[in-house]
Amino acid sequence: MLQGISQKFRGGCLMLVRDNGESVDFLGSAFVVHEQGYLLTSAHLVTETEGLLVVPTSSGGEFHPITFDRVAAMAVSVARRDSAHDVALLKIDQALDIGIPDDFLGSGENVLPGAMVMSLGYSFGHDQIHTSLTVGGYASAKIRSYNDTRLILFDNMVQNGDIGGPLIHVQDGHIVGVISGRFEPADVIVQDADWERRPARNTNISFAVDLDYGTALMKAEGLFEHD
């Protein structure tokens, strides 16, 4: 089951990087949510909006080099941001149509503790490994943070490169959250747009924010008006 879900979404999970002029820095992951080139990611990855790029990589089952000499990077802009809930909607600058699955956006409301979930992201992108990793786990709990953000906790030790990637509900094949990092009870989400995380403790519990915050940005952008 995980194999089919993984292949369904791997092509839509992209590396998020920033061109600083002299170097290109890896930031995290982002994933396609609309055929017109819109993606979701974590807001705290894109506080600086200049030079943002997304990079697609191979989604096939072959053995590929862990690092690529050349990639087809595409410039993106921040279309909308919800810093309080740590989600951002990006738009690929060039005009293009992207193939997306039918009925693939879900909601954290549909996830129950014990449900099988799957994370997808460029786990070791900060170490120049340009390969997306699929990791299975189980939903551990659903909680509300200090600012009432709806969070899905799951037993998968995500890496920094996974942040911004999708959390997928395996049973129905829907994306239900945006991965935000390892779970740190003392500092999960705060109201301040300039918040910084504390170093995550050595725990196998991670968390994602409910995808509903991302779909709210898509609605505000008018992406569902003709659906």
Q: Among 35, 36, 27, 79, which Cα is nearest to 54's?
A: 27
**The CATH number of domain 8-92, selected from 2.40.10.10, 1.10.3720.10, 3.20.20.450, 3.30.70.260:** 2.40.10.10
pLDDT at 10 over 70: yes
pLDDT at 196 over 70: no
Q: What is the mean pLDDT of residues 53-65?
A: 76
pLDDT reported for residue 185? 74
CATH architecture of 108-216: Beta Barrel (2.40)
Helix locations, the chain, DSSP H: 2-10, 212-220
- Count the helices and strands in the chain (H runs, E runs): 2, 12
Is the pLDDT at 154 greater than 70? The verdict is: yes
Cβ proximity of 32 and 98 under 8 Å? yes
Tokens standing for residue 210: 């409910």
Q: If residue 207 lies in a helix (H) or strand (E), which one and from where to where?
A: strand 206-210
Work out the average pLDDT over 25-49.
95
Query: Residue 191: pLDDT band by 50, 70, 90 thresholds?
Result: very low
Which residue intervals of the chain bear CATH 2.40.10.10?
8-92, 108-216
What is the rounded distance in angstroms from the CA atom of residue 2 to the CA atom of residue 101? 16
Question: How far apart are alpha carbons 165 and 117 in whole angstroms?
Answer: 13
User: How high is the pLDDT of residue 11?
Assistant: 85
Please report, for residues 65, 79, 122, 124, 176, the alpha-carbon distance to residue 129 in angstroms, rounded to integers and kept in the order given.
Answer: 9, 28, 8, 5, 26
Q: Which helix (H) or strand (E) holds 116?
A: strand 116-121
Mean pLDDT throughout 188-215? 74
Q: Following CA atoms 171, 15, 199, 196 in sequence, which dihedral angle do they give, to the nearest 10 degrees?
A: -110
Name the more confident of 123 and 3. 123
What are the backbone angles phi and psi of residue 116, rounded to the nearest 5°?
Answer: -75, 130
Query: Confidence class of residue 144 from pLDDT cuts 50, 70 and 90?
Result: very high
- How confident is residue 101, by pLDDT bands cut at 50, 70 and 90? confident
Q: What confidence score (pLDDT) does residue 57 get? A: 81
Q: Residue 107's pLDDT is what? A: 97
For the whole model, what pTM was predicted? 0.89
Q: What percent of the chain has pLDDT over 90?
A: 64
Q: For residue 137, give the nearest of 201, 203, 41, 62 by alpha carbon.
A: 203
pLDDT of residue 23: 86
What pLDDT, in 10s, does the model give residues 206-224? 999 999 999 999 999 999 8
pLDDT at 222: 94
Instruction: Report the alpha-carbon distance of residue 53 to residue 89 in Å, rounded.
Output: 13
